[in-house]
Structure 1
């Protein structure tokens, strides 16, 4: 097998959770994605809602096992030397479907399988040899993959230089795993709203605590938060005090100012604030409300859902799902119903929020 060299990297990624139209929930997951030739591999698989095995919410021992499997230092979990590259974000069952591939090591770039080579050999590979190859990608739902029926024939094979490959995955074994800052501190006096918001966040896998301010909170506890959400009635003095507490503890968090007392909308704002993936590697890159339409832009083919939220004169929440389609890369304009509104756009990996003025 011959293949041109591809670059290999890792980057934080997110499977966007949230409270969906109709009251359904979608679990929030943070994971490490594979960056192949500068682009997330997941994006090359079209419209796929999935996460890599390198997720932040699995036990450390299991996380380490997944890394060592990718390094070929642990036995393949599937038949025929196949490894899970992406799986179901809601569970780990193969019956839900998974993207799998054969991973092997080769000793020369022209061919010649070297799967029997010692995984611990750290020879310099800058000139070729000692490569890792990912090949025969397939969608798999049972013990054996059917390449003819379910193979990703346009994906791979990818040949990675061993030194680069091991160095990237080795950082995860050295403590660079994702997951810090998945908790949110909710600041506000409206106990009922914050209680509902905290419950919704916890349901989708995000820790949440409620407080009037951050006075006296130990620095080690502040470091566990990734975002602070302020209710609209929180005064400027309290906001400044909270910010000072986090700055004094040397904690860099995202601050969220709630747009409206609508729980699904607030969840979407917090989801966006917690997104640590590089901007250049996000699929959903633009959302803006202009008059009676909304403009959104995506960088690769994916499912996009646009949901409109507003409060009526009796402060009841009104929800309209105006789009749920697989869109091609580029800019898309969608007509909006009714009056002033807040719009939430979702793809499998990201969330954006935009508002029109009253």
Structure 2
């Protein structure tokens, strides 16, 4: 069965974020993935489609479109990140993205972190949900809508207080995307 991806306006008043949430067949993706471990913490995550990160659009949107390589060494792509800083060290809901000429599939959702200790390569915990298969043209058109209207939607919103990293890990914070 082919699903339909849509973007719906959302916000996190607690964190001052404005975003487009991901919906599959008219149901929020976060709700479809709420079963299993860490459901409470996942409920407070922000989708990667945030309009008012301090320094612009997340590169993850371009990875979902297949226009940039995945930042994670696993090749997986974040769909929800920390709503405070967007840092993958805080943990993220990630997905394996598979493309064919006609479809894009999201498979094997998981909770993943990049935080590592000397003998640790991070953490990955599977999350029940999916797989979701989308018609590639509809999927790309919907995500492209975010990219194409990002500046206009961002300018229309009220300015938010500029956030700064609370510690010296500035280079690891993802809301200052590498360009």
TM-score by length of 1: 0.38
Larger Rg: 1
Cα deviation digits, residues 26-71 of structure 1 (max 9, x gap) = x2111111110101111223332010111112333x44x3322111
In structure 1, the partner of 2:97 is 103
In structure 1, the partner of 2:169 is none
Contact 1:79 1:144 in 2 (8 A): no
Q: Which has the higher contact order (CA 8 A, sep 6+)?
A: 2
Which of 124, 132, 141 is the aligned partner of 1:167?
141
- RMSD, matched Cα: 2.3
Q: How is 1:152-301 mapped onto 2 (pairs within 5 angstroms)?
A: 152-153=127-128, 155-176=129-150, 178-179=153-154, 180-182=156-158, 202=161
5+ residue gaps, structure 1: 18-26, 108-129, 184-200, 205-358
Which of 151, 159, 164 is the aligned partner of 2:126?
151
- Residue 165 of structure 1 and its aligned partner are, at CA, apart by 0.5
Which runs of at least 4 in structure 1 moved beyond 6 Å after TM superposition?
Answer: none
5+ residue gaps, structure 2: 35-39, 115-120, 164-179
Count of matched residue positions in the alignment of Structure 1 and Structure 2: 147
Q: How is 1:1-358 mapped onto 2 (pairs within 5 angstroms)?
A: 4-17=1-14, 27-46=15-34, 47=40, 48-58=43-53, 59-60=55-56, 62-63=57-58, 65-107=59-101, 130-142=102-114, 146=124, 150-153=125-128, 155-176=129-150, 178-179=153-154, 180-182=156-158, 202=161
TM-score by length of 2: 0.73
* Greater strand content: 1
Distance of 2:49 and 2:107 partners within structure 1: 19
Cα deviation digits, residues 235-255 of structure 1 (max 9, x gap) = xxxxxxxxxxxxxxxxxxxxx
Distance of 2:76 and 2:161 partners within structure 1: 34
